[in-house]
Amino acid sequence: MLDLNPAQVRKDLAYFGEFGKRGVGYSVSRLRDHLIEILGLQTRRNVGIVGAGGRLGHALALYKGFEKRNFKVVALFDKDPHVIHQPVGDSGTIHHISELPTIVRQLSIEILILTVPAEAVREVFDYILLSGVKAVLNFAPVKLNSTEEICVHNVDLAIELESLSYHLNRPGVNLP
């Protein structure tokens, strides 16, 4: 499914330890447990959404898929005074971003999802750095770089479309 050959799978697993028995194979359920452990997926992670007043933030706040994968949206933030105190689903009401550092610590939030417009990113990111959070998933079309302090994953929807546009121009170069 992932286009890997057996040697590569064994090599990658070897990086973390020995999980199989020579001549026998791997126990699927025990291997699964090891992978959950390696990825840190045993413990539920608390997540906050910054820009929850926007449509994307709203959609993600109400998305049921995160709970199934052991992530829980526990707090919502926005800059716009009009949406503050608005309730969204069962993640409580929207807080002003100035409260972010305090609430992140109070609720042990480990990951922040950023869904603010490009213009707001710099200001909001300062609050995020202040909060001490170590992981950010950024949907704003502004690349944020990871540092020793904080790990950022950037998801830029327009770039995804641009990448598909490139493939449309050269048929046959589809495959991975």
Q: State the residues that interact with its own copies by CB under 8 A.
A: 1, 38-41, 45, 47, 54-56, 58-60, 62-63, 65-66, 68-69, 71, 110-111, 134-137, 141, 143, 145-151, 153, 155, 157-158, 160-169, 171-172, 174-176
In this structure, are residues 50 and 57 in contact, taking their beta carbons and an 8 Å threshold?
A: yes
36 versus 129: smaller Cβ distance to DNA: 36
In this structure, are residues 30 and 19 in contact, taking their beta carbons and an 8 Å threshold?
A: yes
User: Is 25 a residue that touches DNA (CB under 7 A)?
Assistant: yes
55 versus 82: smaller Cβ distance to its own copies: 55
In this structure, are residues 144 and 154 in contact, taking their beta carbons and an 8 Å threshold?
A: yes
Provide the pairing of β-strand 71-78 with 94-96. parallel
Q: Of its own copies, DNA, none, which one does residue 13 interact with (CB within 5 to 8 Å by kind)?
A: DNA
Residue whose structure tokens are 């990111």: 125
Which of the stretches 1-9, 36-44, 76-84, 133-141 binds DNA when contact is defined by CB under 7 A?
1-9
User: Is 18 a residue that touches DNA (CB under 7 A)?
Assistant: yes
Distant-in-sequence contacts of 150-157, Cβ < 8 A, 24+ apart: none
Within 10 angstroms of residue 133's Cβ, the number of other Cβ atoms is 22
Which of the stretches 15-23, 67-75, 77-85, 151-159 binds DNA when contact is defined by CB under 7 A?
15-23
Stretch (H or E) spanning 28 = helix 28-39
